[in-house]
Amino acid sequence: MIAVVPFTADIDPDAHDLARWLTSETAALLARATEVKLVADEVEIAPEALGAAAAALGAGTALGASVQVVEGGLRLQALLADAAGAEKASWEESLPLGGAARLGPMLARAVLLALGDDSLAPPESVDPDAPAEVVLRLARAAAQLDVDELLVLAAEQPGLEAPRRTLLDAARAAVDTGRMPQMLSALERLVEQRPDDGEALFALAEYRALHFDEAGARAMFVAARDAADQPALGARACVRLAELAEKSERADEAIAHLRAAVKLDDDPRAYARLGALLLERDEGEGVQALTRAAVLAPKDPEILLQLARALREHGGDPKRALAAAAEAARQAEQRPDLADAIAAELQAQLDAAG
């Protein structure tokens, strides 16, 4: 887990808005790869203070930064510290104000690389420089959650990903809040602007599902799957289609969607769900899918529990079944809610072993 503290700025209102936007943008990008906690109060950008903020939230590290606007340019100094108050990494970037849209992705990537999460680091930003006034408008709109202005900027600057990215992040943050109706409308308008944007289509599908519009959600998930420019996004859309099908007791359709998902991306959760659905139809294939899930997520206690139970109930190598249950027990600390079920399964395995 990473704690992200509010980026600091001098009294200049433009710097203040830029700092708020860059805090939210960096945190949202990091949250796509790992658990993130936003710190409400300002913290001194120093190793000891950041370490204390991380420790207070149970995070392993904390990220902070200071932002300055100087003569049409932007200067960012960032620091990453661990929970013991030791510096992990630091960065300093100076660039024209129009290049500020690259800073969030740049910093999120640098943090994940510094933590050794190379495979989870987002690609380097390809946002071009924009007029300085556009960047300031974007920062103000983000600070005020002005979705109308964000949509205008997305339309005016089609080559600039930051307005769209900011709007999608705001929509994710608004789930289960009173802003959901406003964000649903904003996503509808964004999809009208960008009908082939897989990520926007997926976000709209999620919102329709949250508003109990199953038919509308299904149509958008299909569109997101077909428009996805990344296999992982296409797989996520397939998984959500499977969930909708399963909810309506269309198991065969759910299996078909999950088969499509695992062809697109090696997602252990998709394999686990596919295995669970297949067990009643083809025990061997079901166990095989659960085995693949456990190979991909060898420390996931829930998947290990599923595999152990499947091997015991549907036949298989008793030693493998007991090994899976024992490993689930070793990993149970991650999921205290599963502790009783894992203990019961381990006992059942031991009883079966005689």
Name the pTM for this structure. 0.84
Report yes or no: 258 and 281 within 8 Å, Cβ to Cβ: no
In angstroms, the CA 82 to CA 239 distance is: 36
Averaged pLDDT for residues 300-310: 93
pLDDT of 121 reads 59
Tell me, which fold does domain 2-128 have in CATH?
Answer: Rossmann fold (3.40.50)
| Per-residue confidence (pLDDT) for residue 253, from 0 to 100 | 96
Q: What is the pLDDT of residues 142-185, one digit of tens each?
A: 988 899 999 999 999 888 888 998 999 899 989 999 999 999 99
Give the CA angle between residues 115, 117, 121 to the nearest 5°: 110
Cα 240 from Cα 221, distance rounded (Å): 7
Res 270 pLDDT > 80: yes
Half-sphere exposure of 70 (CA within 13 A, CB side): 10
36-38/73-82 β-pairing = unpaired
pLDDT tens, residue by residue, 148-160:
999 999 999 888 8
> Residue holding tokens 């910093």?
107
Two tokens at 230? 């990344």
For residue 36, give the 3-state DSSP assignment. strand
Return the bridge partners of 62, or none: 3, 81
- The structural domains of the chain, with segments of one domain joined by +, span 2-128
Alpha-carbon separation of residue 132 from 71, 72, 94, 150, 211 (angstroms) = 11, 8, 14, 16, 38
Q: 11-15, 40-44, 49-53, 188-192: which has the minimum mean pLDDT? A: 11-15
Mean pLDDT of 253-268: 96
